[in-house]
Structure 1
Amino acid sequence: MILNVTQPSQELENVLSSSTGGDFITGAQLYFILLTTSALTQVFNLGGVITNSINIAVFVKLGFNETSNISLLALALCDLLSTFLTIWGSLCVTPGFSDAELPFLPTEIGNLTGGGLANLVLRCTAWVTAFISFERCLCILIPLKVKKWITRKTTTVVMVAICIATIGPYIGAHWRWIFVWKFLPGRNATVLGVTVVSTPFLDLKEKIENIVLGLIQPIVAFVTVLVCTVFLVVYLRRSSQWRKSMASAGEEKAGGDNSSRFEPKQTISRKEEKLVRLVISIATIFIVCYTPNTLVFLNMAIFPSFWVFGQHKNTFLMVYTLSVMASSVSASVNIFIYYNMGTRYRNAFRLMFHLDLKDSVK
């Protein structure tokens, strides 16, 4: 079989300075947008590196007697890795760095080694968040059985399986993107870039894999988090109504019996309720920040011209960088949720940084 090695675009570095006919965003507008969003994204990423490093240290200090600590540690690891990759990917599309005469093409190399891998890790984050949300739902629906099913070993296996399920197919789908040396006549220099090995079979195979891995997989994770979050919110509202009705009834048994119709099927302890609220907060931030990324992939599937090599490449880069910035925000703010809503986390945090303890360890 003869392989035809083709270049995805004539010169990706022209994306930042050229306008495409029919595109909604001009090259000059894209330049300003990328300059602004890249700077903000880098700020959030640097914050994410710091906050997630602290999260990892705190969860290790807390230990793994509770399965939730294992999944939250996995979430922190995913967030930390995604911030590192996004720092590199954002740097490669930052005006000034991308225009510099470097020994490689920043946009091409950054798209493959930064942005592409960051999307991969983001899928891991989505599925870890989905598992955390789903686990809380099971703890409410079948609290006695879930303790036997979801153990420390089970949670660890699931976290590893999520990584394999997201990384493995990615390698199979993108192995044909290879590094090559390209000669640039304008610079009279040979630099490192990226190209794709193309055959009709591989093109069809990649289209199918992109639909399954790039569209269906992240959307299923997103919908799972959304459904589980809605369920948890509804349950907490019903539980709150029931508690208020019991409090208003006081010691009157008749009032207590009358309010029993508001009681959820399974009541949970205050400690479990705080954990549910924490999960809802994490999931809500994920939903808000992951929505732009989901919309990007949906538009890529519906409109073939909406991608980095398409007719509307400028619009794609604008929307994509905004979605990357939103993902960076999501990866950097969980520490504030843990600290404000988790007593054990807050105490471990204070001990680690030798601060005065105001709360007793529970």
Structure 2
Amino acid sequence: MTLNVTQPCQEVDNVSSLSTGGEFITEAQLYIILMSISTLTQVLSIGGVITNSINIAVFVKLGFNETSNMSLLTLALSDLLSTILTLWGTLCITPGFSDAELPFLPTEIAQLTGAGLSMLVLRCTAWVTAFISFERCLCILIPLKVKKWITPKTTTAVLVAIPIVTIVPSIGMYWRWNFVWKFLPGRNATVLGVKVVSTPFLDLKEKIENIIFGLIQPIVAFVTVLVCTVFLVVYLRRSSQWRKSMASAGGKTAGGDNSSRFELKQNISRKEEKVVRLVTSIATIFMVCYTPNTLMFLNMAIFPSFSLFGQHRNVFILLYLVSVLANSVSASVNIFIYYNMGTRYRNALRLMFHFDSEDSVK
């Protein structure tokens, strides 16, 4: 999906005000909202670049003996790339930058190097999150068999396959959107821009890709994360009830062996519960922040006029801006979840920044 808010709508006679359930979004109001959200998104994206760079360094330091570290590292890499692309895309539509006499047209170039690519990377993030949630569900359902199925090799294969399946097929948009040199009489200069190539084959190809990769894939990933998160929340509640009942029974049990077994089971349960809580938190934040994207995809599929060049252009742009902002939030806050819920992550981070000595961490 690409976005160029400066391109005029060709299908609407009056785009200065569009009705949205009794409310009106004028071009002037949209411009103010655009600047406000873009500025906030840029700030969050800069924070996301910093936090995800730290996450990558910490997970590399922790190693990959646990497959969960591999998945979380991939998630951090995806979030880092997404925030960089978002930062670039929002910068290109900033008036001070887009109005400068650059050797390219920022608002056009951003479509292929910013907005479009960031949406592709977001699909990868969605499926990595779905895989992390699904893996944790398997650890609960089949704890004895999951280590045979989810090995470092299989995890690597899945994490490599995800970007291939989610991103590579949509790279074909560059067959339709081409970089071209454009002459600007007002500046008396030739600059790099973008031209849309329209042929019956490319039009049909784009429609099929939008349905499969722009609608079905993201929604399936969202539903997968939703189902897995609900299952994990139910597990957390049952685990909490189980610990309370076992604590009550353990206090009445005599004998060292029974007490030791009880303590061992309780410790294992608490360790598993911490991981489940971490995964649940990541998945919940992702779902909340990914909801605007899901709504946008559904509206585009149901209402043909809901597009950049349709009757509801301003509403589309507004929802797109909200989704970009939400994605920036999702890609920036994971470090706080890791630090608060992951003991090994917290120790490695503190050691990396020399807050603790190596002996105290051990």
TM range (shorter): 0.7 to 0.9
Q: Does the C-alpha gap of structure 1 residues 15 and 300 become closer, same or farther in structure 2, counting only changes over 3 Å?
A: same
Query: Quick one: distance in 2 between partners of 1:28 and 1:268?
Result: 58
**CA–CA distance in 2 between the matches of 1:60 and 1:281?**
22
Contact residue 351 and residue 361 of structure 2 kept, 8 A: no
1:20 aligns with 2:10: no
Identity of aligned residues (%): 79
Structure 2 CA distance for partners of 1:315 and 1:188, relative to 1, 3 Å: farther
Letter in 1 for 2:230: V
Q: Provide the rounded CA distance (Å) in 1 between the counterparts of 2:237 and 2:332.
A: 28
1:308 CA drift (Å): 2.3
Aligned to 2:342: 342
Deviation at residue 62 of structure 1 after TM alignment: 0.5
Alpha carbons 1:178, 1:197 under 8 Å: kept: yes
User: 1:212–1:38: structure 2 CA closer, same or farther, 3 Å change rule?
Assistant: same
Paired position in structure 1 for 2:130: 130
C-alpha separation in 1, matches of 2:303 and 2:182: 30
Partner of 2:97: helix, strand, or coil?
coil
Aligned position for 2:155: 155
SS at structure 1 position matched to 2:241: helix
**1-structure distance, mates of 2:233, 2:124:** 24
Q: Please report how far the alpha carbon of residue 248 of structure 1 lies from its aligned counterpart in structure 2 after TM superposition.
A: 3.4
SS in structure 1 at match of 2:6? helix
Contact residue 45 and residue 328 of structure 1 kept, 8 A = yes
* 1:59 corresponding residue in structure 2: 59
Q: Give the match for residue 206 of structure 1.
A: 206
Checking the alignment, whether the CA contact within 8 Å between 1:92 and 1:106 is kept in structure 2 is: yes
2:105 counterpart of 1:97: no
> How far apart are residue 309 of structure 1 and its match?
2.8
Name the counterpart of 1:297.
297
2:228 aligned partner: 228
Shift of 1:191: 2.8
For normalisation by structure 2, the TM-score amounts to: 0.87
- Report the Cα offset of residue 107 of structure 1: 1.8
In structure 2, what is the Cα distance between the partners aligned to 1:356 and 1:38?
38
Deviates more, 1:134-143 or 1:103-112: 103-112
Matches within 5 A, 1:282-361: 282-356=282-356
Where structure 1 has 5 or more consecutive residues not aligned to the other structure, the ranges are 1-7, 254-266
Q: Which moved more, 1:153-162 or 1:311-320?
A: 311-320
Q: 1:63 to 1:176 in 2, by over 3 A?
A: same
Secondary structure of residue in 2 paired with 1:191: strand
Greater CA deviation, 279-288 or 292-301? 292-301
Contact 1:25–1:314, Cα closer than 8 Å, also in 2: yes
Give a deviation string over 1:335-355, Cα, whole Å, max 9, x none: 001011011001100110000
1:25–1:354 CA distance, 2 compared to 1 (3 A):
same
Q: How many residues align?
A: 340
- 1:49-87 CA distance string (max 9 Å, x none): 110000000000000000000000000000000010000
Of 67-76 and 315-324, the range deviating more from structure 2: 315-324
The question of whether the paired residues in 2 share the 8 Å contact of 1:22 and 1:311 is answered with no
Whether the aligned pair in 2 keeps the contact of 1:215 and 1:297 (CA below 8 Å) is: yes
The CA deviation at 1:13 is: 3.2
Q: Secondary structure at the match of 1:195?
A: strand
| Number of the residue aligned with 1:108 | 108
SS of 2:194's partner is: strand
Whether 2:31 is the aligned partner of 1:31: answer yes
The alignment partner of 1:181 has SS state of strand
In structure 2, distance between residues paired with 1:128 and 1:359: 35
AA aligned to 1:155 is T
Q: Which residue of 2 aligns with 1:244?
A: 244
2:87 matched residue in structure 1: 87
Structure 1 distance, partners of 2:358, 2:229, is 31
Rate the CA distance shift 1:38–1:12 in 2: closer, same or farther, 3 A.
closer
| Between 179-188 and 346-355, the greater mean CA deviation after superposition | 179-188
Larger deviation: 159-168 or 22-31? 22-31
By how many angstroms is 1:114 displaced? 0.2
Distance 1:344 1:244 in 2: 26
